[in-house]
Amino acid sequence: MPSKVRIALDAMGGDFGAAVVIPGAAISLQRHRGIEFLLVGDRAKIEPELANHPALKAASKIIHTDVAVGMDDKPSQALRRGRKTSSMWLAIDAVKRGEADVVVSAGNTGALMAMSRFHLRTLPGVDRPAIAGMWPTKRGESVVLDLGATIGGDAHHLVSLAVMGAAMASVLFNKPRPTVGLLNIGTEEIKGHEEIRDAGEILRARNLPELDYIGFVEGDGIGKGLADVIVTEGYSGNIALKAAEGTARQMAELLREAIQQSWMSKLGYLFARGAFQALRNKMDPNKTNGGVFLGLNGVVVKSHGGISAEGFASAIDVGYEMAHTDLLNKINQMLNREGGALNFVQTAPEDVS
């Protein structure tokens, strides 16, 4: 466990760049005094922000570049134009060269994934990376993956997601053997793709010491908190996440509109304000911000692009936690030790998706 956690920030990423990244870093530093920051980006934009945060300034080094990846750049464009020069690349490069333990960026997801994959490469035993996120549930939070890094995938891929997700949950929730469920649909005999059934059989047969496989979980089981880790391939994971986020936003808007309809309900709102605030806190995207790229030789955390400084601080917190608890080594051990999680399935037929 490193005594100091060194975090590289893509200071130009996101809709607001340094104006959110620097104040966000200052907030996170108050919570975790042991962070050292590498701030990668345009010095002329970073320094004025830093001037407002002397403690952060003292804990930071700047790596200057005025090249930034655009929020709408395609991954291939970003790689072509921003390789070796952009703030995103140089932040990833700091991890690659061992100068940082984790990189956090609010830049565009496709570009960040493409650059991370290109430069950091996947871990031995992992074909394709994943994005893992935190999902607010009735019981607290669950890790859900893959949220859209990789579309489709065979049983081997799903098992590797289960292992990586379990490693993440074990360090985040401090549970030696988190529960893992495979996302599936309900009707008994048409249950799921072949690969989901196969992955379930493998997980059950292996009975791994690091995770407790509990079977299939339906879409409404995620929010019930039926498992600490919910595993699915990236297309359905992304659809599920966005459908849920959309519904939460829709309900909040409906409620707001309904309350505006009469002075009675406006008055009621004043009295019940505490309750609404509690609801907002629980479902606040700022609090669960930070998708973690898993399966790479390095930890990369992706923040929402349009987030506030408080939200960006949450993404840094996630990165801190991952580095502080040595997630990467834990995943590596689980994946690749003698008799490790994936040995059993590496003889399975190659990706057929």
Binders of a second copy among residues 297 to 336 (CB under 8 A) are none
Establish if 262 lies at the interface with a second copy (CB under 8 A).
Answer: yes
Residues 195-224 that bind a second copy (CB under 8 A): 218-224
Nearer to a second copy, 260 or 346 (CB): 260
* Interface segment toward a second copy; rule CB under 8 A; list 4-12, 57-65, 73-81, 200-208: 73-81
Residues 23-52 that bind a second copy (CB under 8 A): none
Near a second copy by CB under 8 A: residue from 176, 261, 338, 347: 261
| 3-state secondary structure string across 280-325 | HHHHCCCCCCCEEEECECCEEEECCCCCCHHHHHHHHHHHHHHHHC
Count of residues near a second copy by CB under 8 A? 71
Near a second copy by CB under 8 A: residue from 175, 259, 286, 308: 259
Give the pairing type, strands 102-105 and 299-302.
parallel
* Interface segment toward a second copy; rule CB under 8 A; list 11-19, 34-42, 201-209, 277-285: 277-285
Establish if 192 lies at the interface with a second copy (CB under 8 A).
Answer: yes
Establish if 58 lies at the interface with a second copy (CB under 8 A).
Answer: no
Establish if 152 lies at the interface with a second copy (CB under 8 A).
Answer: yes
- What character string, x for contact with a second copy (CB under 8 A) and - otherwise, covers 91-110? ------------------xx
Near a second copy by CB under 8 A: residue from 97, 98, 270, 338: 270
Nearer to a second copy, 23 or 295 (CB): 295
CB of 69 to a second copy, least distance (A): 13
Establish if 143 lies at the interface with a second copy (CB under 8 A).
Answer: no
